[in-house]
Amino acid sequence: MAKLTRDDVLHVAKLAKLTLTEAEIDKFGKQLSEIVSYISQLSEVDTRAVEPTSQTTGLTNVYRPDEVKSEKSLGQEEALSGTDQTHNGYFKVKAILEERSDK
């Protein structure tokens, strides 16, 4: 079984932006070691006769053509007809982004 060091566990925790207690370092060290050991078993599988693949469904393209259907679209005037809150041909709304004061 692969045994991860305390530094390995702390490095993974740092990458995940986690702060661990000593008990968690011990607990997760054992768990991560078991996971790495289990995954390392995959290197023992002989895959020389297996053809590489990126997907297995056989689908090549599931997208539809991108077509504009003008009969189903609103013009700018129609879209803005339900409001009087406009500016230069756009909807006028309250600001949603504000400057942070804690800089």
Q: Is 87 helix (H, G, I), strand (E, B) or coil?
A: strand
Report the distance separating Cα 33 and Cα 8, nearest Å.
Answer: 10
Q: Output the pLDDT for position 95.
A: 85
Class (C level, CATH) for 6-44: mainly alpha
Q: Please, are residues 10 and 25 in contact by the beta-carbon 8 Å criterion? A: yes
Q: What is the pTM of this model?
A: 0.46
Say if residues 9 and 28 touch (Cβ distance below 8 Å): yes
Q: Where are the domains of the chain?
A: 6-44
How is residue 69 written in tokens? 């259907």
- d(C-alpha 30, C-alpha 28), whole Å: 5
**Residue 31: helix, strand or coil by DSSP?**
helix
- pLDDT tens digits for 10-61? 999 999 999 999 999 999 999 999 999 999 988 899 999 988 888 888 878 7
Res 22: pLDDT? 95
Task: Output the pLDDT for position 91.
Answer: 92
- Is it the case that residue 92 has pLDDT exceeding 90? yes
